[in-house]
Structure 1
Amino acid sequence: MTDLRTPPVNDGDLFSARARQYALEHRGQTIEILEAGCGWGHGLGLTDLDCQVTGVDMDLPALRAHAEARTDLHARHLGDLRTVPMPPRTFDIVHAPYLIERVPHAELVLDRFVAALKPGGLLLVRLRDRSTAYGLVDRLLPARERRARGAGGPPPAVYDEVASRKGMQWYCMMRGLTIAEEHPSAHMLATAGPAVAALCRLVAAAGRDRLPGGHSEVALVIRKPENRFARVI
C-alpha cells in the first residue's frame, strides 16, 4: 500500500517532518532514533525534541571520524551491520539515508532495522535506484564516485537487488510493511555533471526506458504495523 503525495522540497525536509509528526503523536515519551549510516551526512535535526539517537555504520576510518565528530549521537556502534547491537523493538524511528545501496547483504541489514523498530515505528529510507539509467551508469563507473568524493566520503555503492524502488516495494510486501509515502527524485542525477547526465539519457533511450532516466533515487516512508500478529520479522 502506497500513498503518493506531493513531493517535499527535499527528502531531508520530508523525513524531519515525518519524524516530528511521529513525536507529536507520541507526546510525553522519549523518541528513540536509530541513525543508520551515521558515518557521513547529517541526522534529522530534532535536537529540540526529547530524543535519544543511536548511530550505526560500517567501521571504516573516514566513517568513524565523522561519527565521532557528530554531537547529535548519544551512542554509536561501528562494525558489520549484520552484527552491531540493534536490540529488537527498541526504536521509534530508523533513519537510513543513502545506506541500503552501499552495504552488502542489504536485505539482511534491512531485516535487522525492521526487527529493531517498535510496532508502529517508522523506517525512513532514501536510496539510489539500481533499476534506473543512473543506477546502471553508477555501477559501471564506480571509480568516478571515488574520485569525486575523495578519501573522506562514504564507500562506493554495492547495489544489492533490494536497492531499487521495485526492490523495496517487493521487500515491504513480503514483510507486511506499509509504504506510507514514496517520492522518486533526480538529485544525484542533477549533480552528477553533464557527461554522466548525457550518458544516462543515452542508456534510457537505448533501453526504451526499461531503465528510467527521469529519476536517480527514491525516498520512502515505511511503517511497521501496530498489530503484533501481523506478518513481520
Structure 2
Amino acid sequence: MGREFLGLFEEWADSYDDSVAGIDPQYRAVFADYDKILKEVCKCSFGHVLEFGVGTGNLSAKLMEFGYKVTGVEPSAAMRKKASEKLPELELYEGDFLNYPALSDMVHTIVSTYAFHHLTDLEKEEAVRKFAGLLYPTGKIVFADTVFKSEEQKEQVTREALEQGYNDLAADLKREYYTTIPELRGIFTANGFHVTFEQMNSFVWLIAAVKK
C-alpha cells in the first residue's frame, strides 16, 4: 500500500521542495513544469477536494488558493509536519491511499501528484474502487504522476537513465510501481469512470477520471 517507501519520505521531507525545484539533475525532467502541473490539477478540480499524498503541502496550498475546501491525507509524519507548518489551517490526517480516516461526507474531487505509483497495480485497482464510493455523482479523480505508454517505453527510459549516469533515477524506476496508460485506463473504466490522459512533461501525465 505504499508504506514500504515511508522511510524514503521521512528522509526526503527536508529536501523535497528543493527536489521539485529541479536542483537535482537526475530528477529535473521528472519535475519539469512542476508549478504548471499543480495548477492544471487545480483547474480540473472542484468543490470539496480530498488529497492523497500531501507531502510538504505544495498542491494543498494551490488548491486552497483556488478557493476549494481541502482535506489532506499523508502517511509520513515528517511530511505532515512540513505541510502543517506551511498551512496550519489545512485539515490533515495520517493515512494512505488504502487506509484513511472515515469521512463525514462525500467529496467532489480526489487528487494526488507524484504518489499513485507507490501502489502496485492491484492496489491501484483497490484504491480506485474505494474512491468511487467516496465521490458524489459526477465526481472526479485528478492525478498527475509518472506513467508510461508501454512497458517497453519504461524499460527504454530506465536504460537511458543508466546511460546518463542517473543511477538513483534508474533505481527508482525499477523499485517503484510505475504503470502504463493501458493498465490505468482499464482500472478506471472497470470502476465506472471515463478517463483521459494528457502528457505534461517527458515523465508525468495528467489523469482525469470522471464518475459515469
TM, length-normalised to structure 1:
0.58
Bigger Cα displacement from structure 2, 118-127 vs 83-92: 83-92
Deviations, residues 3-40 of structure 1 (Å, cap 9, x unaligned)? xxxxxx94323222222xx4xxxxxxxx2111111024
The alpha-carbon deviation at position 41 of structure 1 amounts to 5.5
- Which residue of 1 is the match for residue 109 of structure 2? 93
The alpha-carbon deviation at position 164 of structure 1 amounts to 2.3
- Which residue of 2 is the match for residue 47 of structure 1? 64
Tell me whether 1:172 sits opposite 2:188 in the alignment. yes
Gaps of 5+ in 2: 1-34
- Which residue of 2 is the match for residue 14 of structure 1? 40
Check 1:118–1:50 CA distance in 2 against 1; reply closer, same or farther (3 A cut): same
- Which residue of 2 is the match for residue 35 of structure 1? 51
Between Structure 1 and Structure 2, whose CA radius of gyration is higher?
1
TM, length-normalised to structure 2:
0.63
The alpha-carbon deviation at position 122 of structure 1 amounts to 1.5
Q: How does 1:102-113 map to 2 (within 5 A)?
A: 102-104=118-120, 105-113=123-131
Identity among equivalent pairs (%): 17
Find the aligned partners of 2:58 and 2:124 in 1 and give their Cα distance. 21
More helix by share: 2
The alpha-carbon deviation at position 51 of structure 1 amounts to 2.9
Gaps of 5+ in 1: 1-8, 23-30, 149-155, 188-214, 226-233
Deviations, residues 89-140 of structure 1 (Å, cap 9, x unaligned)? 6111111111110234222223233321111111101121153566435599
Find the aligned partners of 2:194 and 2:185 in 1 and give their Cα distance. 9
Find the aligned partners of 1:128 and 1:74 in 2 and give their Cα distance. 26
Instruction: Please give the root-mean-square deviation of Cα atoms over the aligned residues, in Å.
Output: 3.5
C-alpha contact (below 8 Å) 2:50/2:111 kept by paired residues? yes
Check 1:69–1:78 CA distance in 2 against 1; reply closer, same or farther (3 A cut): same
Check 1:115–1:158 CA distance in 2 against 1; reply closer, same or farther (3 A cut): farther
Bigger Cα displacement from structure 2, 101-110 vs 9-18: 9-18
Tell me whether 1:183 sits opposite 2:183 in the alignment. no
